[in-house]
């Protein structure tokens, strides 16, 4: 059963692992996947250059709390209505939609602060589906609590 808020025409999903939590995001919301080696230093911070702007990757723990000392190497770039954000991940996979059986999470598991709306089994792992907007809201919140603005213009 496809979750109602997910476009049924999506070609696939990105599975991104943070510790022991695997996120599933619509592939159409992921414009790029990069690596820590692609970052450059800007005012002492690691940033990616994207379309003439700097984008700072954010580190989140698997509990979806802020992770002060990043140790991951893969970088997932996600686009939502606000713009782009970047998230450090342990590993990132792209899976065809036809290979996944996404089930909605029961309504009792949703609340004012919840992030995940569905789940799918990938091998022996359970991955949790989220909307790009909701993930973007949480990512920006944690980053801005610690650093201020998420993006800055190089000029």
d(CA 57, CA 14): 17
Per CB under 8 A, 109 contacts other proteins = yes
Which residue among 36, 46, 62, 66 contacts other proteins (CB under 8 A)?
A: 62
Chosen residue from 106, 123, 148, 149 binding other proteins by CB under 8 A? 106
**Residue 40 within binding range of other proteins, rule CB under 8 A:** no
* Dihedral over alpha carbons 64, 68, 73, 79 (to 10 degrees): 50
Q: Is 20 exposed, middle or buried (0-12, 13-18, 19+ CB in 10 A)?
A: exposed
- Does residue 122 interact with other proteins by CB under 8 A? no
Closer of 9 and 113 to other proteins (Cβ): 113
> How far out from the chain centre does Cα 93 lie?
12
CA distances from 43 to 3, 46, 154 (A): 43, 8, 10
Q: Which of positions 124-143 make contact with other proteins (CB under 8 A)?
A: 126, 128, 138
Q: How many residues would you count in the chain?
A: 155
> How are beta strands 45-50 and 40-42 bridged, if at all?
antiparallel
Task: Verify binding: residue 94, other proteins, rule CB under 8 A.
Answer: no
Binding flag, residue 110, other proteins (CB under 8 A): yes
Residue (48 or 118) nearer to other proteins, CB: 118
Please, which residue, 48 or 120, has the CB nearer to other proteins?
120
Binding site for other proteins (CB under 8 A): 21, 62-64, 103, 105-116, 119, 121, 126, 128, 138
């Amino acid at each position: 059963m496809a979750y109602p808020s997910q476009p049924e025409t999506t070609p696939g999903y990105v599975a991104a692992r943070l510790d022991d939590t695997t996120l599933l995001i619509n592939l159409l919301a992921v414009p790029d996947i990069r690596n820590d080696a692609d970052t450059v230093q800007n005012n002492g911070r690691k940033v990616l250059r994207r379309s003439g702007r700097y984008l700072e990757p954010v580190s989140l723990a698997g509990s979806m709390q802020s992770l002060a000392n990043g140790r991951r190497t893969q970088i997932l770039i996600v686009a939502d209505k606000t713009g782009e954000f970047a998230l450090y991940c342990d590993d990132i996979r792209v899976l065809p939609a036809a290979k996944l059986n996404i089930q909605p999470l029961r309504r009792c598991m949703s609340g004012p602060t919840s992030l995940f709306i569905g789940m799918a089994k990938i091998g022996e792992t359970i991955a949790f589906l989220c909307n790009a907007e909701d993930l973007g809201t949480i990512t920006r919140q944690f980053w801005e609590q610690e650093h201020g603005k998420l993006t800055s213009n190089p000029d």
